A and B are shown apart, each in its own frame.
Chain A
Amino acid sequence: MNSSARRSLVAAGLLAPAALLFALLFVWPQFRLLGLSFGNPAPFGLASYERFLGDSYYLGVLANSLALGACVTVVCLVLGFPLAFLLARAETRWAGLLLLLTTFPLWVSAVVRSFAWMVLFYRGGTISRLLQGSGLVPPDFQLLGTFSGVVIALAQVLLPIMILTLYAVIRGIDRDLEHAAMSLGAAPVVALWLVTIRLARGGIMAGSLLVFSLSVSAFATPSMVGGARAHFMAVTIYEQTLELLDWPFAAAISAILLAISLAVALTYGRLLGEGREEAR
């Protein structure tokens, strides 16, 4: 056997376990899922999709999830950019520790973090009581089970991911450019706007798309903080499967969610590709 044939054999052997695993447990199940979603009535029918797209309740669920994605993305950007910027530009030895603490929540399960928000949001919880005390809301108000509550909790769960993305991008921007803009007379706000945010816009888009995609398909936080009647995509899939046992319909909703995630991921990949082109 010549050496090039042996090399390809070695490469195939190294890839085989992963390829087998993915073929059996990733590709095949996804195909079955798609098959089931298009199989009502059997052997081929679009009834599951028609039911979703023809029912204002389910369209409302889709709109709710997209709105959740938009709100969470905005909150993460507004809170994440200043923190990522200061961490990336900090020159103290505390910066490393602060960055580590910022990413610490990623080590804690979303179930634990969502439970913490449930404790803060229920009728007698700290945040709900503060709001009741302010007189802005009725006395028995609770944030638990509200859309705003889910936005606040989910944005906290996903904020570290946004900060990490932005931090990496801002670190890559030469800070001398900011100095140059300011020494030429630009106000700090203007320098940040003209230089940093513009140069970081690829990273800002990438981080936003990532957070948006994760929010639209999030399950644990919307289901725990949103309560029993949380009208979001992933929660609806959960209800249709484990509670109502309507698997063909759940498969169709899953396929729609999958399509949204794939579309976002492809845009994200293209953006990263463009970023690399620009850097060259």
Chain B
Amino acid sequence: MISLGHSFGWFLRLVAVIAFVYLLGPLFVIVAASLSDTGYLVFPPQGLSLRWYQAALADARYLNGFFVSVRLAVTVAAASLVIGTAAAVALTRFHFPGRAFVEAFFLSPLVLPGLVLAVALTLFFASTPLVPPGMTRLVVSHLIVGVPLVLRVMLPVLKRVDRSVEEAARNLGASPLKAFFLVTLPALKPGLFAAAALAFIFSFDEVEMALFVGSAREAPLTVVLYGAAQMAFDPTVAAVSALLILIALILMVAQQLYAQR
């Protein structure tokens, strides 16, 4: 640590600690409160019990919502990865007029409000029989953000991959397709994994579009939670929240372990 002078250095450190507690404190509070033995939410918890977790797992709405969310996020991650990577390859390996514009266009949903995308999609779905209600609508809606997320990760990765190795394979007689699958693709693996993880976590956590385009029968977990949180301060909601925090923690650790391999 560079010497920042005593009082000023400590002041910076104090603010940083406050920011750190502010960031993680609420997550800690919700996990602690979910373990309370009381019939209402309280922090610090009184008594220790897992009964709200039992209640959460026994509630079909949450269980159903969880499986809908997982199915949705897996589909969105896989489809975004294929569509986004294909587009990223086209944008980095081929030169055509207006390439910078096409790139900016494909990235633009990331800067637009999710709720506005949701309203526009709802109007569109109401006017066409093309997209059946339920899971299909959720998936195609999330792709509008999932594909740009994959692009944002893959564009710099593809630009960085050493083209000379790819060309060496070509010179040794490999077809462009073979060179791509044998040489380029393995080098892209960490990037592909990071992109898929990002698309998965976006879809798994997203609530605005899901609230609009989802059906009552196939409501993702975030939508169920959003509804339940407004009804009452039910400790079951805290238990489900704590489980989601645990899942996020596992995903983050898995991603780190994979990235550091």
Q: Do A and B bind each other?
A: yes
Residues of chain A whose beta carbon lies under 8 Å from any beta carbon of chain B? 7-8, 10-12, 14-15, 17-18, 21-22, 24-26, 28-30, 32-33, 36, 78-80, 82-83, 85-86, 89-92, 98, 100-102, 104-105, 107-120, 122, 124-126, 156, 159-160, 163, 175, 178-179, 182, 187-189, 192, 213, 217, 219-220, 224, 234, 237-238, 241-242, 247, 250-251, 254, 257-258, 261-262, 264-265, 268-269
Residue of A100, A163, A219, A224 with highest tally of chain B CB at under 10 A: A219
Known: A83-B15, A115-B229. A18 touches B241 (CB 8 A): no
A188–B9 CA distance with the chains assembled, in angstroms = 8
Report how far A182 CA is from B89 CA in the complex, Å.
Answer: 47
> Which of chain A's residues have a CB closer than 8 A to the CB of B50?
none
Q: A115-B237, A115-B238, A119-B43 are in contact. Are A107 and B113 (CB under 8 A)?
A: no
Q: Are A8 and B96 in contact (CB under 8 A)?
A: yes
- Verify A234–B121 contact, CB threshold 8 A: no
B171 within 8 A of A: no
Interface of A, helix, strand, loop or mixed by DSSP: helix
| Docked pose: A242 CA to B214 CA in angstroms | 12
Question: Is the pair A217, B113 in contact by a Cβ cutoff of 8 Å?
Answer: yes
B102 within 8 A of A: yes
**A125, B44: Cα distance in complex, Å:** 10
Verify A160–B23 contact, CB threshold 8 A.
yes
Interface contact A29-B83, CB-CB below 8 Å: no
A98 to B82, CA, bound (A): 33
How many A-B Cβ pairs are below 8 Å?
249
Q: B-side binding surface: helix, strand, loop or mixed? A: helix
Q: Does B72 contact A (CB under 8 A)?
A: no
Q: Say whether A118 contacts B233, CB under 8 Å.
A: yes
A112 in contact with B113 (CB, 8 Å) = no
Interface residues of B in 212-226 (CB under 8 A from A): 212, 222, 225-226
**Across the interface, do B225 and A108 meet the contact criterion of CB distance under 8 Å?**
no
Q: Are B19 and A112 in contact, with the CB atoms below 8 A?
A: no
In the complex, are the beta carbons of A11 and B120 less than 8 A apart? Answer: no
A111 and B41 contact, Cβ closer than 8 Å, known pairs A15-B102, A179-B2, A224-B230: no
B90, A105: Cβ atoms closer than 8 Å: no
* A-B CB contact pairs (8 Å), 28 listed: A8-B94, A14-B89, A18-B86, A18-B147, A22-B106, A30-B120, A33-B116, A33-B119, A80-B19, A82-B19, A101-B24, A104-B27, A105-B27, A109-B222, A111-B205, A111-B229, A112-B30, A112-B244, A116-B27, A119-B233, A124-B42, A156-B22, A188-B5, A189-B5, A224-B229, A234-B208, A261-B116, A262-B111
Q: What residues on B are CB-neighbors of A241 within 8 Å?
A: 119, 122, 212
B190 contacts chain A at the CB level, 8 A cutoff: no
Is A29 in contact with B226, judged by CB distance below 8 angstroms? no
Q: Are B1 and A111 in contact (CB under 8 A)?
A: no
> Does A261 contact B120, Cβ atoms closer than 8 Å?
no
| Of the residues B9, B16, B115, B141, contact of A217 by C-beta under 8 Å | B115
A18–B143 CA distance with the chains assembled, in angstroms: 9
Closest to B14 in A: A82
B165 within 8 A of A: no
Q: Measured between alpha carbons, how far is A168 from B9 in the docked complex, in Å? A: 21
Q: Does B201 contact A (CB under 8 A)?
A: yes
| A242→B1 CA distance, assembly (Å) | 53
In the complex, what residues of A have CB within 8 A of residue B183's CB? none
By a CB distance below 8 angstroms, the chain A residues around B2 are: 89, 175, 178-179
In the complex, besides A262-B112, A265-B108, A265-B111, 11 extra interface pairs with C-beta distance below 8 angstroms are A14-B89, A14-B94, A17-B86, A29-B124, A112-B241, A116-B26, A116-B29, A119-B30, A219-B115, A237-B119, A241-B119
The answer to whether A83 and B19 touch across the interface, beta carbons within 8 angstroms, is yes
Q: Are B222 and A26 in contact (CB under 8 A)?
A: no
A33 near B106 (CB under 8 angstroms)?
no
Smallest CB-CB A-B distances: 10 pairs: A217-B113, A116-B26, A109-B205, A29-B120, A14-B90, A11-B94, A188-B5, A107-B248, A29-B124, A79-B19
Chain A residues within 8 Å of B226, by CB: 111, 220, 224
